[in-house]
């Protein structure tokens, strides 16, 4: 809005003042000089000179800080009882300035800067034209806006200018609404409250010339601007009854906006989010929660589908006025994803057999590092080697999907165990203990590939033979992987030292009981002899005199230790015989020819026979001969008679007791009669 400002020089005089000082000179700069302030117009009051301030009364309640202020009234001021604050039209002091700020202008604007500083009910833009009255007054205290001292009376030394009035116009607003079907624009102009502020506006300077504009518009009522073409810009000026001229901002007629959709019509359920394409740019989508209404972002996987699903989506432009936007529809088909979810195969050991992988759907292609899995899904842990491997399964086709799974292949356990010894003397007891890291369970111990009845981490075994043994351990680790370790020839017990000794004489007698013993093993380092409990000896050569006076067998044992520290015991028997011997022929020929005609055992001993019994039996156990005379022969006759037995084999038994020896010795044998 362009209006010409006219500057007036005004001399104001004190009204009803008790002093003779004048308030001073001021200029009023108000556009049009008609006392009307249109919307956003201002009136400037410029102090010039000649201001005279109230005198200082040393008021303790109101410190002396003199200045001037702009008093506002709702009607012409009357100052009843000469008291400004008691004036019924007094609204307040709008602005003030101290003596140090004299000659600064007072600005009165028809905007919120004024209304927001006034008390109720003037603290808002007026709905109707309103006239306010202004007057410059002196102030005793500019900070508290106090016009005079409490010690001076209501109007002591108050100076005031002549008042002047300003008529404030309400705010003007406008609104355009398109009628695209009739190529016209409906414009509504509102000034304040149209219900109470009745009036008209004059339209001027309108364009374009092809459009048809009315010349007058009523406050709050719509006017029709006809014959407006799409894309044309219209504009105009309006003025109200008070002469306020306003420029209405230009408006471009949008007309009809038709949607065009260029997005694809087919998606896969597993496709990423996609922005659908359409024109014009501004518009909204509708038809399904799978599409974002504002951005047009389409989510093919919004619904979990098993069969092809059709969506009918609509795009409606928002560029044009309501009713002028023509929507477009598009049919979109979403194909279900060909699922490729892999069935969890679990974990593997590197020595596991080839395993077939499976998925929720068949006919896909498998792949993995090192070609560890064939396209058909045959997984070979030994090719994959230990580690974590990403296995991919891909379904073919337009909507085929891919899945991957992390497959762990564990190395075989590195089996370790300790032995309390690897060699030693028999019997050799050895404790084996598993020391395998991450070992789990199911322990199996082997000796020469023969399983022991032990299933614990610790196994104890006693070796009885001097051989070298292979020791094996099989176990399952915490990952379920199993392996076996064979330690070849790990345990080799020492052979027991061989014990062998000689005796001399071989057949000692009671009369000559001393026997010498000598070891035949030069590898022995310690010897301990035991002579049937009668005594002991040491060394590789030893002797002993047997004390028994009774013939018999006596066990002699040698306990020896070899260079390996191994101990063994060997025993033999010493036969101690009496001090005599018996010799008997094995055959004789009775015939009375003087040659070998009789049978009799011969006793060889230095001692005399004390008791003698000789009995002879035939093969059926019948006694055929008996004598207790050591000098009597048997001539083959039956019971010392005249009858002679037949040629045959006969058994003889002899019991002999010698003087000086208490025991009776028995002998027996066979004899053959041959004629």
What is the 3 state secondary structure string of 506-527? Answer: CCCECCCCEEEEEECCCCEEEE
Length of the chain: 675
Note the helical H segments in 32-75. none
Model confidence band, residue 93 (pLDDT cutoffs 50, 70, 90): very high
CATH topology of domain 417-491: Immunoglobulin-like (2.60.40)
Model confidence band, residue 13 (pLDDT cutoffs 50, 70, 90): very low
With residue 270 as reference, give the H or E element that holds it. Answer: none
pLDDT, residue 303, reads: 92
Residues 332-360 have a mean pLDDT of 95
Model confidence band, residue 50 (pLDDT cutoffs 50, 70, 90): low
Q: What are phi and psi of 384, to 5 degrees?
A: -65, -35
Q: Tell me if 629 sits within 8 A of 640, measured CB to CB.
A: no
Q: Tell me if 384 sits within 8 A of 408, measured CB to CB.
A: no
Rounded to whole angstroms, how far apart are CA atoms 26 and 104?
11
Characterise 270 by phi-psi region: left (phi > 0), alpha (psi -120 to 50), beta (else). alpha
CATH 2.60.40 applies to domain 581-673: yes
Q: In what order do the strands lie in the sheet with 609-617?
A: 587-588, 664-673, 649-658, 609-617, 623-627
pLDDT, residue 606, reads: 67
Q: Which of 309, 306, 307 is nearest to 298 (CA)?
A: 309
Rounded to whole angstroms, how far apart are CA atoms 116 and 124?
6
pLDDT, residue 102, reads: 73
* Torsion angle (degrees, nearest 10) of CA 428, 431, 436, 441: 120
Q: Where are the domains of the chain?
A: 5-168, 172-252, 257-335, 348-410, 417-491, 501-576, 581-673
pLDDT, residue 333, reads: 95
Q: Is pLDDT at 9 greater than 70 in this prediction? A: no
* Torsion angle (degrees, nearest 10) of CA 445, 446, 452, 455: 10
Q: In what order do the strands lie in the sheet with 245-252?
A: 216-218, 200-207, 233-239, 245-252
Q: Which of 13, 9, 32, 31 is nearest to 22 (CA)?
A: 13
Q: Is pLDDT at 384 greater than 50 in this prediction? A: yes
Its pTM stands at 0.45
CATH topology of domain 501-576: Immunoglobulin-like (2.60.40)
592-607 pLDDT, tens digit per residue, is: 788 899 999 998 876 7
pLDDT, residue 15, reads: 29
Q: Is pLDDT at 516 greater than 60 in this prediction? A: yes
Query: Three-state DSSP class for 302?
Result: coil
Task: Domain 172-252: give its CATH architecture.
Answer: Sandwich (2.60)
Per CATH, the number for 257-335 is 2.60.40.60
Q: Which of 21, 23, 29 is nearest to 11 (CA)?
A: 23
pLDDT, residue 14, reads: 29
Q: Are strands 257-258 and 325-326 parallel, antiparallel or unpaired?
A: parallel
Minimum mean pLDDT among 140-154, 358-372, 497-511, 661-675: which range?
A: 140-154
Question: Which two structure tokens, joined as six digits, stand for 78?
Answer: 């009357």
Rounded to whole angstroms, how far apart are CA atoms 223 and 214?
7
Task: Answer whether 417-491 and 501-576 agree in fold.
Answer: yes
Minimum mean pLDDT among 90-104, 166-180, 194-208, 314-328: which range?
A: 90-104
Model confidence band, residue 56 (pLDDT cutoffs 50, 70, 90): confident
Rg, C-alpha atoms of the chain: 72
């Amino acid at each position: 809005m362009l209006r010409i400002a006219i500057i007036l020089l005004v001399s104001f005089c004190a009204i009803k003042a008790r002093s003779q000082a004048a308030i001073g000179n001021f200029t009023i700069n108000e556009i049009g000089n008609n006392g009307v302030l249109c919307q956003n117009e201002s009136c400037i009051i410029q102090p010039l000179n000649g201001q005279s301030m109230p005198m200082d009364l040393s008021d303790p309640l109101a410190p002396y800080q003199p200045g001037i202020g702009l008093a506002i009234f709702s009607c012409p001021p009357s100052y009843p009882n000469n008291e400004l604050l008691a004036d019924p039209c007094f609204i307040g002091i709008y602005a003030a300035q101290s003596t140090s700020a004299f000659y600064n202008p007072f600005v009165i604007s028809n905007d919120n800067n004024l209304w927001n500083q006034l008390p109720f009910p003037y603290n808002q833009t007026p709905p109707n034209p309103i006239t306010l009255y202004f007057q410059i007054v002196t102030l005793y205290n500019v900070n508290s806006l106090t016009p005079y001292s409490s010690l001076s009376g209501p109007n002591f030394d108050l100076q005031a200018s002549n008042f002047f009035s300003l008529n404030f116009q309400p705010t003007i607003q406008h609104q355009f609404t398109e009628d695209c079907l009739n190529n016209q624009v409906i414009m509504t102009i509102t000034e304040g409250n149209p219900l109470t502020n009745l009036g008209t506006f004059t339209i001027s300077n309108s364009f374009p010339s092809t459009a048809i504009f009315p010349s007058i518009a009523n406050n709050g009522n719509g006017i029709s601007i006809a014959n407006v073409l799409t894309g044309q810009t219209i504009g105009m000026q309006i003025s109200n009854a008070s002469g306020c001229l306003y420029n209405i901002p230009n408006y471009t007629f949008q007309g009809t906006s038709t949607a065009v959709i260029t997005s694809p019509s087919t998606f896969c359920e597993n496709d990423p989010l996609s922005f659908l394409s359409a024109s014009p740019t501004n518009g909204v989508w509708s038809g399904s929660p799978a599409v974002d209404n504002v951005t047009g972002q389409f989510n093919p996987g919004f619904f979990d589908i098993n069969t092809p699903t059709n969506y009918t989506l609509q795009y409606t432009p928002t560029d044009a006025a309501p009713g002028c936007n023509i929507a477009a529809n598009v049919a979109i088909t979403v194909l279900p994803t060909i699922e490729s979810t892999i069935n969890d195969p679990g974990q593997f050991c590197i020595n596991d057999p080839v395993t077939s992988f499976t998925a929720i759907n068949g006919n896909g292609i498998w792949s993995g590092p090192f070609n560890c899995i064939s396209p058909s899904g045959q997984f070979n842990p030994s090719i994959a080697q230990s580690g974590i491997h990403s296995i991919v399964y891909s379904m073919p086709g337009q909507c085929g999907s891919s899945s991957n799974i992390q497959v762990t292949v564990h190395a075989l356990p590195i089996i370790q165990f300790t032995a309390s010894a690897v060699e030693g003397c028999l019997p050799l007891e050895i404790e084996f203990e598993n020391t395998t890291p991450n070992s789990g369970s199911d322990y199996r111990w082997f000796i020469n590939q023969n399983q022991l009845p032990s299933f614990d981490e610790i196994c104890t075994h006693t070796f009885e033979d001097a051989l070298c043994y292979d020791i094996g351990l099989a176990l399952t680790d915490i990952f379920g992987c199993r392996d076996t370790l064979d330690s070849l020839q790990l345990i080799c017990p020492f052979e027991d030292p061989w014990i062998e000794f000689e005796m001399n004489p071989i057949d000692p007698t009671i009369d000559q009981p001393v026997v010498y013993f000598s070891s035949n093993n030069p590898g022995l380092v310690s010897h301990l002899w035991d002579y049937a409990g009668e005594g002991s000896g040491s060394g590789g050569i030893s002797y002993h005199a047997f004390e028994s006076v009774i013939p018999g067998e006596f066990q002699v044992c040698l306990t020896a230790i070899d260079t390996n520290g191994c101990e063994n015991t060997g025993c033999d028997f010493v036969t101690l015989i009496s001090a005599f011997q018996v010799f008997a022929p094995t055959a004789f020929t009775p015939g009375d020819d003087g040659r070998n005609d009789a049978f009799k055992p011969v006793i060889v001993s230095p001692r005399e026979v004390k008791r003698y019994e000789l009995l002879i039996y035939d093969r059926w156990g019948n006694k055929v001969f008996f004598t207790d005379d050591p000098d009597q022969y048997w001539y083959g006759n039956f019971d010392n008679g005249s009858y002679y037995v037949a040629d045959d084999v006969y058994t003889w038994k002899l019991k002999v007791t010698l003087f000086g020896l208490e025991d009776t010795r028995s002998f027996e044998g066979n004899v053959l009669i041959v004629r």
